[in-house]
Structure 1
Amino acid sequence: MKTIPTITAALIGAGQPVIGADVCAQTLEKVTATDKITVSYREAAVPFSYLLGPNKAVGFSVDLTEAIIDDVRSRLKKPNLKVEYIPVTGQNRIPLLVNGTYDLECGSTTNTSARGKEVSFSINFFYAGTRLLTKRNSNVKNYADLASKTVASTAGSTNEKLVRKYSAENNLNIQIISGKDYADALRLVENDDASALALDDVLLFGLRANSGHQSSLEIVGDTLQVEPYACMVRKDDPEFKKLVDGTITRLMRSGEFTRLYKKWFESPIPPTGVNLNMQMSEPLRANLKTRSDKPAQ
């Protein structure tokens, strides 16, 4: 096991920034040296990770994160390990992980080969696909109906790239505008600044369920590319990836993972008690047994 240099530990302990992925690659050693683990959350990724009040994140991915933290505490024999939570966006989640600002991201991030060049991914814990959310009176039923229209997404997302590709391949001249986060992207549709919002289907169900305009919104269109969600850890840190994978494996084997799924996808969830009524997909059911970390194609 590679040891963090003493000067690095001192800098971290003093609150100084640590530069370079290599310095922070060995997460468990960094956590041991600082007596703290820093994890991220998303502010509006219902039901994976979202704010319930100004400083309280909840959701399916948050529960996975907490289970991983418990295993870190057990592994390091640090029952009082300090945990710091920071918000991330689609644009900064990878850079902030790579540079050591935080140590673990379990949110709504798609496991892709391109991202795998910068970070490592855990066992996949969800499978989604890009679809469209639009107003019921928009006459948008599929991607062909978006010719020469404006579509919202989030900057840096796989959804944005897929729609751009689909538009180019089918000569649709779709114009893309980006929201700073999921809630902001939804407002672009609600305010008629965009004809539709392209995101992973589960995120669309969550956004619609918690929107004040739920009855006027519908989710339409074919599924573009099935995408696996996974937790992100720093690259070249097999020990920490093994721990994260071990936690997810334990939850899947014990039935706790299925219980958490029912809690967040098939039951009323806060703050309004809405029920997404999303049964577990066949790809995810299969992965409870295979436990693959294979990226999207």
Structure 2
Amino acid sequence: MLRKKGYLLILALIFVFSISTIAGAWWIFGGNEQATWDKIEEEGKIVVGMDAAYKPFEFQDENGEIVGFDVDVLKAIADKLGIDLDLQNTSFDGIIPGLQANKYDLIMSAMTITEDRKKAVNFSDPYFDASQVIAVMEDSNDIKSVDDLQGKVIAVQLGTTGDLEVSEMEGIKEIKRFDTIPEAFIALQNGQVAAVVNDLPVTKAYIKEHPEVKIVGEALTVEQYGIAFRKADTELMEKVNEALAKLKQEGTYDKIYAKWFE
């Protein structure tokens, strides 16, 4: 009899554990649509994942504070929603897995909207137009267009659309992938690579401080940036889209753009 009771107790515990596990998985993978926004309202803040090494979109200033175009747009969105910001600096190649693991509520990190990424996350309405360009040293004459990348060693940031674009090219001698884009440019300046393929606004910002680097050829792509959300968080996405639309209508977005790009 005691053995039977013990057996039944074990079965009951297994059942409770199974239900808890299923409930947890449901929250993570599809049932947290209401819960995420409720959590944000309750805590009074929104947690954002970004790779703060991508000037002028997100980077750390001399005081270690994360600043940039994306940050200012986020602050304006947060003001519209009546909440505070909690910015989490993270590597770009692991940023979508981090979102899916609930480390933050959304991603805003100069992320290009792509079909592959849409399989993993939902995107807000586009908030920035960009493109991929080729950067070389000012005294370089070997590379003038994309055709000249054949047989060369090219630097990119790991997991970016620059990485994806170069990976599809034929005839590249080697692709060196770096965790941050400043590391890729340092490799260029040290002669470790022949060129860097990267987003135009970030490359232009780097050239302002390093005129020994130049852009060559035409843009390789036409891209748009979006804010990324977990698939279930449609309510949060709608609220962010509404706030973003208001910022554009009232001229706040244009003022932020002028601050960082004009």
TM-score range, shorter chain: 0.7 to 0.9
> Radius of gyration: which is bigger?
2
> Percent of counterpart pairs with the same letter?
28
Residue among 149, 152, 155 paired with 2:152: 149
1:204 Cα offset (Å): 0.7
The total of aligned residue pairs comes to 238
3-state SS of paired residue (1:20): helix
Residues 253 and 35 (structure 1 numbering): CA distance in 2 closer, same or farther, change over 3 Å? closer
Greater percentage in helix: 2
Alpha-carbon distance in 2 for matches of 1:100, 1:132: 35
Alignment of 1:1-297 (within 5 A): 20-22=28-30, 24-26=32-34, 27-73=36-82, 83-139=85-141, 140-165=143-168, 167-168=169-170, 172-210=171-209, 214-266=210-262
Q: Deviations over 1:63-94 (max 9, x none)?
A: 11112222332xxxxxxx55422112220111
3-state SS of paired residue (2:205): helix
Aligned to 1:15: none
Contact 1:19 1:99 survives alignment (8 Å): no
What is the letter of the counterpart of residue 108 of structure 2?
A: C
Contact 1:133 1:220 survives alignment (8 Å): yes
3-state SS of paired residue (1:222): coil
1:34 Cα offset (Å): 4.2
Q: TM (normalized to structure 1)?
A: 0.74
Q: Deviations over 1:26-51 (max 9, x none)?
A: 42122235444211233221111111
Q: Deviations over 1:140-195 (max 9, x none)?
A: 21122222110000111111111221x22xxx234111111111111111111110
Contact 1:133 1:197 survives alignment (8 Å): yes
Residues 122 and 82 (structure 1 numbering): CA distance in 2 closer, same or farther, change over 3 Å? closer
3-state SS of paired residue (1:236): coil
1:24 Cα offset (Å): 4.5
3-state SS of paired residue (1:194): coil
Q: Deviations over 1:106-141 (max 9, x none)?
A: 221001111111111111111111111110222221
3-state SS of paired residue (2:107): coil
Contact 2:31 2:232 survives alignment (8 Å): no
Unpaired runs of at least 5, structure 1:
1-6, 12-17, 74-80, 267-297
3-state SS of paired residue (2:92): coil
Alpha-carbon distance in 2 for matches of 1:19, 1:175: 42
Alpha-carbon distance in 1 for matches of 2:103, 2:32: 9
Q: Deviations over 1:243-281 (max 9, x none)?
A: 110111001111111111111100xxxxxxxxxxxxxxx
3-state SS of paired residue (1:193): coil
Contact 2:53 2:182 survives alignment (8 Å): yes
What is the letter of the counterpart of residue 71 of structure 2?
A: V
Aligned to 1:292: none
